[in-house]
């Protein structure tokens, strides 16, 4: 995880270095764009130092929890992120749950009725969603549920209902992927012998499908969900913009537009860290769901312990 | 109140069973008008080469054929005075795993890989007995020990077991509710020879203890000699010969059965495997309307290729054969 984050920061430093544009120009009002003013700003921000020095200095501060100060607003990036991230996190989280809750049953139903009308309809619906641009879907939702029906608010998140439309917007990012993955891994599982065994025991069909087959089909589905969380984080950008939510994604875009390097760096670093943690959680979920993985992990630990013990014994 | 088979009425009676698989490009006639009877406590061997329809017959009894593509087109399966094929799904579910259970062909894939073996056995117990989870687990531990697996392995997963142990678990699961009828689909084919013998012995002991009737599907005539009282030879989805083990081993009448035995083996030869018979079983998607064995039979006559042979009763009851030669041999004792 640490090397990944170091690389992420380095990459952004390099990208900033090679992209044209100067933060001093956005900080200074355009009538004071003189050589010496610009040089003064550069000096203040430490932009004259070589890239490696800046990189190491940034990391040193970041380790202590200081992600720098915004060039434009002069506020602490750490504080701003702490304030804005909860919105983004909630939208991402709710949207992932929505995608799972809709996508998995869709996939299971499609698999159970393979090649029938039901199958085609659910594949069609998921294709429809995947080919719909997020922003357009967001506008449709806002118009229908917000304006026409007046059920849900279209701006802000003063109440929990404000999260529904933005989350739904983001949910379609991975709905189709989850549906398709569920369908294909269920198709594989429902042909397996152990499914027939479960039926032969007298188990009811629902338990056979959801209790036995789906549990076995979960691993690849979890992988798809895990890798799509990054896309969901990205998707919140559209949702936060359209539904005016003061979240992290919006903060980052403002930073990008203003060449506010600390804001962009801090946000990206933070989101990358979150993503790394999510991936670790996904690995843990694998082990919880699948005893085969759990047993393998335990064996590795045991053999590690054994070799260590053997080495110690040899040393003694 | 339990319904029991009335006098004169067989415990299991399969009448004119027809099973077809409707795939995209063909209709496969897997079972074509099979009649079989089984008395209480009896062991019936179903013998036939691969693709003959043995598994399809067994799965029909539990109504667990894969649908689609399988369809039971015709027939009746009477069990304890009820026609299973006409029962509502809910009723069949209460029979599955309780009164009738099945040991599957391949122990490596018959267990759910991500559930502990113990919970898979106790699942079967809890489905048919209204007892607490703890009590069901206790019974499951007992079942494991009955099949020779230490009870403390209850919480192990199938991948921690060898093939033979998995098959024991499958057997424990099938016997967990003390079934009246056990369908054993090649219970030992996937095992090596030493373990085969152990598993068979165990099945026999358990059958004695539980008093179950058994349908034993196998390719192995040695196993039939050891285990079965009655034998049905299945060819291309039909019973071509049926009788007591003695009849089949010592007075067999169908050329296909002869082919199965090669030339000499007797009931005392235990490990004789199927001898290859020249030619192939007819394509089940495209069966001839005459005798299905005519294409491979050394005694084929014009009658064999022009008409369909009926079941003929031989002298020693209940021995029946589907062959015109038998009718001649037995002097038309229809
Ligand atoms: N799911 C299926 N789809 C299509 N055809 C099938 C299916 N299952 C079985 N069949 C066909 O039905 C026929 C009978 O199969 P069945 O499995 O009953 O044979 P078997 O006697 O049990 O053979 P084996 O000894 O190999 O287990 C075969 O021709 C087989 O190809
Ligand atoms: Mg079979």
DSSP string, A129-169: HHTS-HHHHHHHHIIIIIIIS--S-SS--SSGGGGHHHHHH
d(C-alpha A77, C-alpha A68), whole Å = 6
Residues whose CB falls within 8 Å of the CB of residue A29, separated by 6 or more in sequence, listed in order: none
Three-state DSSP at B29 gives strand
Task: Note the pLDDT of residue A316.
Answer: 62
Q: Say if residue A305's pLDDT is above 80.
A: no
Least confident of A182-196, B39-53, B174-188, B194-208: B194-208
Q: Which protein residue's CA is at the shortest distance from atom 31 of ligand 1?
A: B51
* Burial degree of B309 (CB within 10 A; 0-12, 13-18, 19+): buried
Which ligand is located closest to the Cα atom of residue B234?
A: 1
Question: Which ligand 1 atom is the nearest neighbour of the CA of B237?
Answer: 14
Q: A113: closest CA among A209, A202, A178, A216?
A: A209
d(C-alpha A88, C-alpha A246), whole Å = 9
Q: Which residue of B has its CA nearest to A116?
A: B68
Q: Where are the domains of chain A?
A: 2-63, 80-248
Q: Which residue of B has its CA nearest to A197?
A: B110
d(C-alpha B48, C-alpha B281), whole Å = 11
* Mean pLDDT, range B197-206, rounded to an integer: 79
A119 CB neighbours in chain B (<8 A) are none
* Mean pLDDT, range A158-174, rounded to an integer: 86
Q: Which protein residue's CA is at the shortest distance from atom 16 of ligand 1?
A: B53
Task: Note the pLDDT of residue A186.
Answer: 94
Task: Note the pLDDT of residue B330.
Answer: 58
> What number of residues does chain A have?
316
Both tokens assigned to B300: 């084929």
d(C-alpha A166, C-alpha A92), whole Å = 9
* Burial degree of B329 (CB within 10 A; 0-12, 13-18, 19+): middle
**Cβ–Cβ under 8 Å, residues A38 and A25:** yes
Q: B12: closest CA among B45, B36, B34?
A: B36
Return the residue matching tokens 């594949």.
Answer: A123
DSSP-assigned letters across all residues of A209-274: IIIIIHHHHHHHHHHHHHHHHHHHHHHHHHHHHHTT---HHHHHHHHHHTT-HHHHHHHHHHHHHH
Residue B294 Cα to ligand 1 midpoint, Å, equals: 22
How far, in whole angstroms, is CA B289 from its chain's centroid? Answer: 26
Q: Across the strands, what pairs with B36?
A: B14
d(C-alpha B248, C-alpha B31), whole Å = 22
Q: Across the strands, what pairs with B77?
A: B14
Confidence of residue B251 (pLDDT cuts 50, 70, 90): confident
Chain A residue set in contact with B, beta carbons under 8 Å: 191-194, 196-204, 212, 215-216, 289-292, 295
Q: Say if residue B113's pLDDT is above 50.
A: yes
- The end-to-end CA distance of chain A, in Å, is 36
* Mean pLDDT, range B124-137, rounded to an integer: 91
Identify the residues whose C-beta falls under 6 Å from ligand 1.
B 21, 23, 28, 30, 48, 50-56, 66, 69, 105, 284
Rounded to 10 deg, the angle between the A214-242 and A77-112 helix axes is 130
B160 CB neighbours in chain A (<8 A) are 295
**pTM for this predicted structure:** 0.79
pLDDT digits (tens, 9 = 90+) for B42-62: 999 999 888 899 999 999 999
The reply to whether residue B159 touches residue A292, judged by beta carbons under 8 angstroms, is: yes
Question: Which ligand 1 atom is the nearest neighbour of the CA of B59?
Answer: 18
Q: Say if residue B267's pLDDT is above 70.
A: no
Show the DSSP H helices in B85-131 as ranges.
Answer: 89-95, 107-110, 117-128
The reply to whether residue A201 touches residue B97, judged by beta carbons under 8 angstroms, is: yes
Task: Note the pLDDT of residue B329.
Answer: 62
**Cβ–Cβ under 8 Å, residues A159 and A106:** no
Residues whose CB falls within 8 Å of the CB of residue A221, separated by 6 or more in sequence, listed in order: A104, A107, A178, A181, A182, A185
pLDDT digits (tens, 9 = 90+) for A46-76: 888 888 888 888 888 888 888 888 888 888 8
Q: Which protein residue's CA is at the shortest distance from atom 7 of ligand 1?
A: B21
The reply to whether residue B112 touches residue A216, judged by beta carbons under 8 angstroms, is: yes
The beta-carbon neighbor of A291 closest among B66, B127, B157 is: B157
* Burial degree of B123 (CB within 10 A; 0-12, 13-18, 19+): buried
Q: What percent of chain A has a predicted confidence (pLDDT) above 90?
A: 22
Architecture of domain A80-248: Orthogonal Bundle (1.10)
Q: Is B157's Cβ below 8 Å from some Cβ in A?
A: yes
Which of B32, B50, B51 to mutate for ligand 1's pocket (most ligand atoms within 8 Å of CB)? B51
Confidence of residue B3 (pLDDT cuts 50, 70, 90): very low
Give which of A200, A209, A221, A299 to mutate to test B binding, by max B Cβ within 10 Å.
Answer: A200
Three-state DSSP at B31 gives strand
Both tokens assigned to A303: 């053999």
Neighbours of ion ligand 2 (CB under 5 A): B 55
The beta-carbon neighbor of A203 closest among B104, B114, B127 is: B127
Confidence of residue B216 (pLDDT cuts 50, 70, 90): very high
The reply to whether residue B106 touches residue A198, judged by beta carbons under 8 angstroms, is: no
Chains A and B: how many Cβ contacts under 8 Å?
Answer: 76
The reply to whether residue B113 touches residue A198, judged by beta carbons under 8 angstroms, is: no
The beta-carbon neighbor of A295 closest among B109, B120, B159 is: B159
């Amino acid at each position: 995880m640490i090397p990944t984050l170091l690389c992420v920061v380095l990459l952004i430093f390099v990208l900033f270095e090679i992209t044209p544009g100067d933060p001093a120009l956005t900080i200074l009002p355009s009538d004071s764009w003189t050589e010496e003013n610009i040089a003064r700003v550069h000096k203040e921000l430490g932009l004259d130092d070589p890239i490696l020095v800046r990189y190491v200095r940034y990391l040193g501060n970041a380790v202590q929890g200081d992600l720098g100060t915004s060039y434009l607003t002069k506020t602490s990036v750490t504080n701003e992120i702490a304030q804005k991230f909860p919105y983004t996190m909630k939208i991402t989280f709710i949207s992932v749950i929505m995608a799972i809750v809709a996508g998995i049953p869709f996939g299971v139903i499609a698999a159970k009725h393979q090649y029938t009308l039901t199958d085609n309809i659910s594949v069609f619906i998921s294709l429809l969603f995947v080919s719909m641009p997020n922003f357009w879907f967001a506008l449709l939702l806002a118009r229908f549920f917000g304006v026409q029906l007046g059920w849900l608010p279209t701006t802000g998140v003063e109440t929990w209902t404000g999260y529904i439309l933005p989350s739904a917007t983001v949910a379609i990012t991975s709905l189709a992927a989850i549906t398709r993955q569920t369908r294909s891994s269920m198709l594989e599982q429902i042909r397996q012998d152990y499914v027939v065994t479960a039926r032969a025991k007298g188990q009811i069909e629902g338990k056979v499908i959801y209790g036995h087959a789906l549990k076995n089909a979960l691993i690849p589905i979890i992988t798809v969900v895990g890798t799509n969380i990054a896309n969901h984080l990205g998707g919140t950008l559209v949702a936060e913009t359209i539904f005016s939510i003061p979240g992290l994604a919006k903060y980052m875009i403002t930073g990008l537009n203003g060449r506010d390097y600390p804001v962009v760096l801090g946000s990206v670093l933070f989101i990358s860290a979150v993503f790394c943690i999510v991936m670790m959680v996904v690995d843990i979920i694998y082990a919880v769901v699948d005893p085969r993985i759990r047993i393998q992990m335990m064996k590795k630990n045991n053999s590690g312990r054994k070799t260590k013990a053997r080495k110690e014994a040899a040393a003694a | 109140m339990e319904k029991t088979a009335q006098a004169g009425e067989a415990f299991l009676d399969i009448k004119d069973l027809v099973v077809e698989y409707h795939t995209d490009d063909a209709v496969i006639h897997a079972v074509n008008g099979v009649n079989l009877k089984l008395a209480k406590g009896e062991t019936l061997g179903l013998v036939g080469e691969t693709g003959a329809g043995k598994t399809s017959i067994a799965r029909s009894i539990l109504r667990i054929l894969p649908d689609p593509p399988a369809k039971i087109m015709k027939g009746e399966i009477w069990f304890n005075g009820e026609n299973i094929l006409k029962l509502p799904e809910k009723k069949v579910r209460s029979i599955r795993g309780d009164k009738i259970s099945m040991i599957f062909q391949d122990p490596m894939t018959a267990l759910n890989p991500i559930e502990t073996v113990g919970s898979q056995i106790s699942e079967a117990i809890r489905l048919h007995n209204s007892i607490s989870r703890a009590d069901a687990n206790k019974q499951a531990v007992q079942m494991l020990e009955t099949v020779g697996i230490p009870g403390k392995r209850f919480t192990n997963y199938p991948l921690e077991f060898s093939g033979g142990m998995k098959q024991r678990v499958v057997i424990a699961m099938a016997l967990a509710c003390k079934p009246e009828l056990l369908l054993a689909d090649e219970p030992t084919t996937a095992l090596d020879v030493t373990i085969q013998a152990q598993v068979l012995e165990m099945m026999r002991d358990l059958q004695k203890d539980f008093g179950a009737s058994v349908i034993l599907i196998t390719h192995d005539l040695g196993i039939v000699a050891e285990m079965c009282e009655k034998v049905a030879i299945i060819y291309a989805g039909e019973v071509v010969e049926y009788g007591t083990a003695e009849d089949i081993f010592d007075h067999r009448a169908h050329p296909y059965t002869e082919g199965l035995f090669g030339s000499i083996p007797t009931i005392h030869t235990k490990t004789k495997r199927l001898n290859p018979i020249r030619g192939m079983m007819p394509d089940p998607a495209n069966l001839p309307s005459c005798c299905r064995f005519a294409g491979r039979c050394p005694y084929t006559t014009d009658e064999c290729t022009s008409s369909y042979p009926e079941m003929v009763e031989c002298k020693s009851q209940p021995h029946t054969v589907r062959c015109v030669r038998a009718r001649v041999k037995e002097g038309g004792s229809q």
